[in-house]
Amino acid sequence: MILPLDLTEISLLLAIMALVLLVTSELLSPHHRKANMLINKKKLRNIGIFFSTLFAITIVIRILAIIFQIDIL
């Protein structure tokens, strides 16, 4: 069964993902406990910023829909 997602749920998902990625990139040590595994904090932060931007775009879409009284998704 496929559950349809509306803009509110997508926006919430993007916000949670961005928050987790950005907090993780700030708190995580660049060296994991395993010696051969490195975590690139810059890539993690950039992906978090990307998801934050997508979240902001969904908010703008919702605001424009309210202003123009358009029923989206």
Q: Mean pLDDT across the stretch 29-36? A: 62
Please report, in angstroms and rounded to a whole number, the separation of the first and last CA atoms in the chain.
19
Q: Which two tokens stand for residue 36?
A: 């051969």
Name, in order, each residue with C-beta under 8 angstroms of 27's C-beta and a sequence gap of 6 or more: none
Q: What is the DSSP letter of 36?
A: T
Per-residue model confidence as pLDDT tens digits over 48-57: 999 999 999 9
Query: Do the Cβ atoms of 69 and 4 come closer than 8 Å?
Result: no
Per-residue model confidence as pLDDT tens digits over 9-29: 999 999 999 999 999 888 876
| Mean pLDDT value across the chain | 86
